[in-house]
Amino acid sequence: MGKAGELSVLGIETSCDETAAAVVSWSEAGGPSIRSNVVLSQIREHEAFGGVVPEIAARAHVEALDGVVEAALKDAGVSLGDVDAIAATAGPGLIGGLIVGLMTAKALAAASGKPLIAVNHLEGHALTGRLTDGLSFPYLLLLVSGGHTQIVLVRGVGDYERWATTIDDALGEAFDKTAKLIGLPYPGGPNVEKAAVRGDGARFALPRPMKGEARPDFSFSGLKTAVRQAATAIAPLSATDVDDLCASFQEAIAETLEDRVGRSLDRFRAAFPGIAGPVLVVAGGVAANRAVRARLERTCASRGFRFVAPPQVLCTDNGAMIAWAGIERLRAGLAGADAMTLAPRSRWPLDEYAGPLIGSGRRGAKA
């Protein structure tokens, strides 16, 4: 067990197609430290299908997780008996993967006598800025990934208010589907970005969904449809056509985010006028896109906000953010005594009080 004023937590993440485990420590004197962070991607397993296949993902987690946990402990130079708790993603995500991770964590907790902390995957993203940059509450989070597009007010550990979300596709999903319909390989998002560097972003007049609307939410389905219509009109596509479509799509996304996020930044300013250095944290796989980051940095700078984007390895799914969320919950007295009987949840809104979405019929963005 850790000394007084020190904590170490093993974190396990299996909500989608990364099998991940990490050990993170915290001390009153030195703050947080990532002791290890092992992530095993399943890109090869899903490449032939052009997207994540839940059954294949769950089976891959079963085969890999024990070895990934062992590697995380070894890299950190600790044994299971040395950590203070075990944290595992309990949702939201693909139910098969969640079952594998949470059941493994329960077995490790039972065998070692360590407490188990069930973590909301979205909370892992929401608190990563405190792990990397030591942020104080409150701040804004823009979560942009394959399954989630949300703007969340982060008031404190376990205290979140959803300000905006997508009414249809998540942003990462829009990138991946766009890539697939114009013939780019999986994973789509990074390949769209690579092609966009070579392309002319002004060639195709694509829509900026919901730009200018008072409602702060996002929509990407219509933009994806517009790309398909443009591609169909000039088929067969040359390499230049593909590059220009990707550049035009990416420019539309960046301009849309500038407008949509700007509204929430203004709202934050009005709600917290006494905060001298307000912060926007951007997390999720799409946060690695350079064009998106550059436009968001510009948006933040124009409004006097600090822009914080964790390193790419901590933007995408990883065990370190789950371990850190476990530490945050331990320190806040929110570890939860019922974790050993908790069932995984494929949908788990970070803001439990958020109203239903108008136009999509869903609560939260795939949460």
Write the single-letter amino acid at 175. Answer: F
- How many percent of the chain have pLDDT more than 90? 80
In a domain, 358, yes or no: no
Same domain, 144 and 285: yes
Round to the nearest angstrom and report the end-to-end CA distance of the chain: 34
In a domain, 29, yes or no: yes
Same domain, 75 and 105: yes
In the chain, the largest separation of any two C-alpha atoms, in whole Å, equals 67
Q: How many residues are there in the chain?
A: 367
Same domain, 88 and 104: yes
Encoding tokens for residue 264?
């929430």
Looking at the predicted structure, is the pLDDT value of residue 363 above 60?
A: no
* CATH number, position 212: 3.30.420.40
Same domain, 106 and 153: no
Same domain, 175 and 276: yes
Report d(CA 22, CA 233) in Å as an integer: 48
H helices present in 234-347, as ranges: 239-271, 290-302, 312-315, 319-332
In a domain, 347, yes or no: no
Looking at the predicted structure, is the pLDDT value of residue 367 above 70?
A: no
Q: Which residues contact 112 (CB under 8 A, 6 or more apart)?
A: 80, 81, 86
Q: What is the mean pLDDT of the chain?
A: 92
Same domain, 232 and 281: yes
H helices present in 6-42, as ranges: none
Where are the extended beta strands (E) located within 5-101?
A: 6-13, 18-27, 31-41, 85-91
Partners of 138 in beta bridges: none
Encoding tokens for residue 124?
């892992």
**Phi-psi region at 314: left, alpha or beta (left = phi > 0; alpha = psi -120 to 50):** alpha
Let me know: does 143 contact 338? Beta carbons within 8 Å: no
Please report the pLDDT score of residue 197 as a whole number: 97
Looking at the predicted structure, is the pLDDT value of residue 201 above 50?
A: yes
- Strands 139-144 and 149-156 come out as antiparallel
Q: Residue 338 to residues 98, 106, 241, 352: CA-CA distances in angstroms?
A: 17, 11, 55, 18
In a domain, 230, yes or no: yes
Q: Report the number of secondary-structure helices (H) and strands (E) in the chain.
A: 11, 10
In a domain, 353, yes or no: no
Same domain, 286 and 153: yes
Please report the pLDDT score of residue 1 as a whole number: 46
The 10s digit of each residue's pLDDT in 48-97 is 677 788 889 899 999 999 999 999 999 999 999 999 999 999 999 999 99
The 10s digit of each residue's pLDDT in 214-264 is 999 999 999 999 999 999 999 999 999 999 999 999 999 999 999 999 999
Same domain, 58 and 197: no
Looking at the predicted structure, is the pLDDT value of residue 365 above 50?
A: no
The 10s digit of each residue's pLDDT in 7-19 is 999 999 999 889 9
- The residue range of the domain holding 271 is 138-310
Let me know: does 286 contact 317? Beta carbons within 8 Å: no
Same domain, 83 and 119: yes
For residues 33-60, average pLDDT: 86
Report d(CA 125, CA 141) in Å as an integer: 9
In a domain, 216, yes or no: yes
In a domain, 157, yes or no: yes
Please report the pLDDT score of residue 3 as a whole number: 65
Same domain, 261 and 170: yes
Please report the pLDDT score of residue 327 as a whole number: 98
Main-chain dihedrals φ then ψ at residue 151, nearest 5 degrees: -115, 125
* More reliable by pLDDT, 147 or 210: 210
Please report the pLDDT score of residue 307 as a whole number: 97
Same domain, 183 and 80: no
In a domain, 200, yes or no: yes
Looking at the predicted structure, is the pLDDT value of residue 333 above 60?
A: yes
The whole-model pTM stands at 0.92
Whose tokens are 């479509």? That residue is: 245
Let me know: does 148 contact 315? Beta carbons within 8 Å: no
Whose CA is closest to 182, among 199, 202, 158?
199
Peptide bond between residue 207 and the one before it cis (omega within 30 degrees of 0): no
Same domain, 152 and 299: yes
Q: Which residues contact 139 (CB under 8 A, 6 or more apart)?
A: 129, 154, 278, 279, 280, 281
> Which residue, of 310, 328, 359, is where some domain finishes?
310
The pLDDT-based confidence of 359 (bands split at 50, 70, 90) is very low
Peptide bond between residue 273 and the one before it cis (omega within 30 degrees of 0): no
Domain count, the chain: 2
